[in-house]
Chains A and B, each alone.
Chain A
Amino acid sequence: DIQMTQSPSSVSASVGDRVTITCRASQGISSWLAWYQQKPGKAPKLLIYAASSLQSGVPSRFSGSGSGTDFTLTISSLQPEDFATYYCQQANSFPLLTFGGGTKVEIK
């Protein structure tokens, strides 16, 4: 199985800050990576697919990069509505997908 490790597990940041979340795969997954945002009590929402493609309707302050084993999700200027938990998901071993453990973005 491909394991996905996210870091940090939580981050405290202020509105306007630049936030970077990292996801590392236990083996190379090319660009088969997605990022999701989940707010409390809500279903996850797709932000980024294929490592760097922005899902329709997602603000441009979100961006993804990386390939192989190391990936990042960047929020260029944190907004109040961005406080949430973020998950990466690998799809290289489709249909056996795996999620990272999640990163909670909290208000400083």
Chain B
Amino acid sequence: EVQLVQSGAEVKKPGESLKISCKGSGYSFTNYWIGWVRQMPGKGLEWMGIIYPDDSDTRYSPSFQGQVTISADKSISTAYLQWSSLKASDTAMYYCAVGITIFSPTGFDPWGQGTLVTVSS
């Protein structure tokens, strides 16, 4: 069974750093793109960026370029999303999802269960 398991909920203060994880299993982790999606409270889905774990080719949505860093460690089948200095506006649920095909996937499935990040002073 293909599965993505994300790290647990986080509560942080503004200015703190954070790295959340997404561990894949049940498939060839290195050969499928993994994307990250933000969902702010009560809002829709926003595409943040994507990584190809085999060579760590990473692309960002313009809205998130410079705001977050996406990385992967293929030796442990895990992708990461990190912030160097959190803001209150980063409070959201964050999902990872794996592409359904190796090249230019037209859909993403399955998704991780989500990681809730709360940033508050």
Using a CB–CB distance below 8 Å, which chain A residues touch chain B? 1, 31-34, 36, 38, 43-46, 48-50, 55, 87, 89, 91, 94-102
Contacts and interface: CB of A to CB of B under 8 A. Distances in A.
Given A95-B33, A97-B50, 18 more contacts: A31-B106, A34-B107, A43-B113, A44-B95, A45-B109, A46-B107, A48-B107, A49-B107, A55-B107, A87-B44, A89-B47, A89-B108, A91-B104, A96-B61, A97-B35, A98-B47, A99-B44, A99-B46
Nearest to A35: B107
Interface of B: 33, 35, 37, 44-47, 49-50, 59, 61-62, 95, 97, 100, 104-114
A55 B109 contact: yes
12 contacts: A33-B106, A36-B45, A43-B113, A45-B110, A46-B109, A55-B109, A87-B45, A91-B104, A91-B105, A94-B105, A95-B49, A96-B47
Contacts of A95: 33, 49-50, 59
B104 A94 contact: yes
The list of the 6 closest CB pairs from A to B, nearest first, reads A49-B107, A46-B109, A34-B107, A43-B111, A95-B59, A99-B45
Contacts, number: 71
A101 B44 CA distance: 6
Contacts of B95: 43-44
